[in-house]
């Protein structure tokens, strides 16, 4: 178990080091998400009540769409240098490679959210920096990174991978995006934990199912 965790961390640490050098992934997610959020602040007249109505949807749509860019990049860099083949030549099981890549993507999305949320709060003038929203964001990041890592592996060898990944990722993530939007909506309107517990349960169930299913899909995608 300890050795497996060390391998997962070694894989994620390698991705973090590469990101630290290139800053491709987090920058892409943050810039795209902030652009979407900024455009909406101009497009919609943001009265306090309207901010609470449309804000959560805008926030999670921006994170989900921007996340696709980052997820695409995280696998593209493995394909460019054929380093995916290098990983495949190691005796590490495909499951551990999946969890290593997923952990890296989870960290990238989470770092991006740390930048995006305060800017969103300032522009929409609604408070999302609360414990409840942080829990929702963590659950959403786990789901996004699991689904995204698996589908990025599926589309990495496809010529039109930039198109293929969003086509696979976004429909599959709809339940999680719904759960995140509805939960956030309850929180910004002053609701308690119990008021969005159903959505929270949906997000948890999504994460459990899709982490397992994505690990299987990832293995299948790499082997074939």
Partner 1 sequence: MEKSFGNAAVLRGLDMTVRDGEVVAVFGANGVGKSTLLRVLTTLTRLDHGTISVYGSDLSRRPEIARLLLGAVLHSPMLYGDLTVKENLSFFGKMFRVPRLADRVSELADRMGLTPRLDQKVRELSHGYQKRAALARTLLHRPRLLLLDEAETGLDESARVILDGVISEHRAAGRAVVMTTHSIERGIAGADRVLVLAGGRIALDRPSSQVTPNDVTGLYGDLSSPGSGDA
Regarding 5 and contact with partner 1 (CB under 8 A), the answer is no
Spatial distance between the Cα atoms of 43 and 159, rounded to a whole number of angstroms: 35
CB of residue 110 to partner 1, shortest distance in Å: 22
Q: Which of residues 61-90 bind partner 1 (CB under 8 A)?
A: 77, 80-83, 85-90
Q: How far is the CB of 69 from partner 1 (least distance, A)?
A: 19
**Residue 195 to residues 146, 161, 200, Cα–Cα distance (Å):** 27, 40, 10
Cβ atoms 57, 118 nearer than 8 A: no
Count, residues in the chain: 224
27 interacts with partner 1 by CB under 8 A? no
Q: Smaller CB distance to partner 1: residue 21 or 159? A: 21
Whether residue 187 contacts residue 157, with contact meaning beta carbons closer than 8 Å, is answered with no
- Piece of the chain touching partner 1 by CB under 8 A; list 4-12, 104-112, 113-121, 213-221: 4-12
Q: Please state, in angstroms and rounded to a whole number, the distance separating the CA atoms of residues 27 and 199.
A: 30
Q: Supply 62's token pair.
A: 């921006």
Cβ proximity to partner 1, 8 vs 186, nearer residue: 8
Would you tell me which residues interact with partner 1 (CB under 8 A)?
Answer: 3, 6-7, 10, 14, 17-18, 21-22, 77, 80-83, 85-93, 223-224
């Amino acid at each position: 178990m300890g050795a497996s965790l060390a391998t997962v961390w070694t894989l994620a640490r390698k991705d973090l080091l590469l990101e630290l050098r290139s800053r491709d992934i987090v920058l892409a997610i943050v810039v795209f998400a902030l652009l979407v959020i900024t455009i909406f602040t101009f497009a919609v007249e943001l009265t306090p009540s309207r901010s609470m109505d449309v804000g959560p949807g805008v926030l999670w749509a921006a994170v989900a769409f921007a996340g696709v860019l980052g997820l695409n990049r995280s696998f593209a860099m493995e394909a460019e240098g054929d380093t995916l083949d290098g990983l495949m030549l190691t005796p590490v099981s495909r499951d551990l490679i999946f969890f290593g890549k997923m952990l890296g993507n989870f960290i990238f999305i989470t770092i991006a959210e740390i930048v995006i949320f305060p800017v969103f709060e300032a522009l929409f003038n609604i408070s999302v920096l609360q414990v409840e929203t942080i829990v929702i964001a963590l659950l959403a990041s786990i789901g996004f990174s699991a689904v995204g890592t698996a589908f990025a592996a599926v589309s990495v060898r496809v010529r039109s991978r930039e198109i293929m990944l969003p086509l696979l990722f976004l429909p599959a993530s709809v339940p999680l995006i719904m759960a995140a939007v509805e939960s956030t909506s309850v929180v910004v309107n002053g609701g308690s934990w119990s008021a969005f517990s159903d959505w929270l349960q949906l997000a948890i169930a999504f994460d459990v199912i899709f982490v397992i299913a994505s690990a299987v899909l990832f293995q299948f995608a790499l082997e074939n």
